[in-house]
Amino acid sequence: MRLGLRVGLASNNRAAAPAANGAAIEVPLKARVQFDVIKGRTIEWPQFENSEAIMTVGAYRPVEDAARIALTELVHWIHRDYGLSDLDAYELLSKVARIHLNEMVDPNYVVVASIEKKYLPRKKP
C-alpha cells in the first residue's frame, strides 16, 4: 500500500453559465492553500472547509449516486467531529444542507454537499 497526498487545483472561474455547458470566464488566480494532515484519520472522498461551512464531494454516475456519496460523507464527518449521531446528522442535513452540482457534462457527475457551521454544535475536542 502506498500512502500519500494527491492534490489538484483547477482553473479559477470568475463566472460560469448557469447550465453546465462548459462556458466560463477564466481569470488569473493567486491563492494560498493550506492542507492539514490529521494523523490516524482517513476519508473516502474529498472534504474541505472554510470559515463558514464544511463540504464534501461525491463524483459518480448517475447524479443521484454522486449526491448520495457527498451527503453520506457529510453525515459521517458531522458524527465524527461534532458528536451528533448519524440519524441526528441526517435529520439536520435534511433541513439545511446545500447541494451544488459542479460537473454535469463529464463522464462522472460531481456534487458538493455543504452545511453552514452556524447550524453545527461545537466541535468535539
Residue spans per domain, the chain: 13-119
What is the arrangement of strands in the sheet containing 53-60, beginning at the earlier edge strand? 47-49, 53-60, 109-116, 98-103
pLDDT computed for residue 3 by the predictor: 63
Return the pLDDT at 12: 64
**CB under 8 Å to 63, separation ≥6 — which residues?**
101, 104, 109, 111
What pLDDT does 20 receive? 43
Helix extents (H) in 83-114: 86-96
Q: Mean pLDDT per segment of 10 residues, for the chain of length 125 residues?
A: 64 56 66 80 88 95 95 97 97 96 84 96 91
Whole-model pTM? 0.77
Q: What is the pLDDT of residue 63?
A: 94
CATH code that applies to domain 13-119 = 3.10.28.20
